[in-house]
């Protein structure tokens, strides 16, 4: 009986975590470059039940029993989002030209390398190209990019040409297996698991569009459907838990009651 409690509770926890993930996806549906998360539900190992007080070890078997499910992990879905024109010179969008993914290289406040698809950039007071929250965008030598003004152009290969003719090459990283190599940190940033930098992207692996932003790849219709499915599954497990609770109440207070 108690095993039923654990199985139903495990299902409720898994669906609650899945609901939290889907809620975060929908909340970032308008965040440039956002990649939606996908969940993976796995079953706990099944238990093989045997009859108690069997005459010998390996006595009569009752059968196997599932002990519930859990949400193993949330994996970003690195599918290209649509691009939208903004006419803002500091906005940039990366378009993948093959099965891999290209990323802008960012320096976080601690000096470590991070990667992003969010090209909603700006120039700070000193003229450095930064993310919306002030983290430096790096060139192909992993150095911050400083420009004289926002009157610059960027080629489709990521070459920045400033108003005075100065040139800097954007540090565009590339990976063929982003879902295996990158870990989501939040605020649109990703890191490698062991800190090893990604390889520099080569021509033909990406195209850069200045004055555009990549939109999130969240499918709102699918996200809403998945949310309702998760809610119904949570509700079903909740009703099972209530039924077990009622049965336990009857067993404890009526079946075993002495008249």
pLDDT, tens only, 213-223: 999 999 999 99
Question: Contact at 8 Å (CB) between 180 and 172?
Answer: no
92 closest CA partner among 188, 160, 162: 160
| Residue 243: per-residue pLDDT | 86
The tokens for 257 are 């009651």
Q: For position 52, what pLDDT does the model report?
A: 67
Cα–Cα distance for residue pair 220/242, rounded to 1 Å: 33
pLDDT at 194 over 90: no
Q: How many CA atoms lie within 13 A of 180 on its CB side?
A: 4
Confidence grade of residue 203 (pLDDT, cut at 50, 70, 90): confident
Separation of alpha carbons 18 and 114, rounded Å = 26
**Residue 258 scores a pLDDT above 90:** no
Rounded mean pLDDT, 94-117: 94
Whether the CB-CB separation of 43 and 68 falls below 8 Å is answered with: yes
> What is the torsional sign of CA 131, 35, 16, 26?
positive
Give the pTM: 0.82
Distance of alpha carbon 106 from alpha carbon 120, whole angstroms? 13
Residue 241 above 80 pLDDT? Answer: yes
User: Over the stretch 126-182, which tens digit does the pLDDT of each residue have?
Assistant: 999 999 889 999 999 999 999 989 899 999 999 999 988 889 999 999 999 998 899
């Amino acid at each position: 009986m108690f095993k039923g409690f654990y199985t139903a509770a495990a299902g409720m926890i898994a669906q609650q975590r899945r609901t939290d993930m889907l809620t975060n996806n929908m909340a970032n549906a308008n965040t440039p470059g956002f990649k939606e998360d996908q969940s993976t539900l796995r079953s706990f190992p099944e238990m093989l039940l045997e009859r108690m007080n069997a005459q010998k070890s390996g006595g009569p078997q009752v059968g196997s029993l599932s002990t519930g499910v859990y949400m193993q992990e949330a994996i970003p879905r690195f599918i290209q989002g649509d691009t939208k024109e903004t006419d803002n010179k500091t906005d940039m969008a990366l378009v993948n030209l093959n099965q891999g993914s290209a990323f802008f290289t960012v320096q976080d406040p601690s000096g470590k390398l991070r990667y992003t698809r969010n090209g909603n950039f700006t120039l700070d007071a000193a003229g450095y190209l930064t993310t919306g929250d002030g983290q430096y965008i790096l060139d192909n030598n992993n150095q911050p990019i400083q420009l004289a003004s926002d009157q610059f152009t960027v080629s489709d290969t990521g070459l920045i040409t400033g108003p005075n003719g100065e040139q800097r090459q954007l540090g565009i990283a590339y990976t063929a297996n982003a879902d295996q190599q990158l870990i989501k940190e939040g605020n649109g940033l990703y890191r490698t698991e062991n800190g090893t930098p990604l390889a520099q992207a080569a021509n033909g692996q990406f195209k850069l569009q200045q004055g555009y932003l990549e939109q999130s790849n969240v499918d709102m219709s699918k996200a809403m459907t998945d949310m309702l499915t998760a809610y119904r599954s949570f509700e079903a497990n909740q009703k099972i838990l209530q039924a077990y609770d009622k049965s336990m109440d009857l067993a404890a207070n009526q079946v075993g009651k002495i008249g």
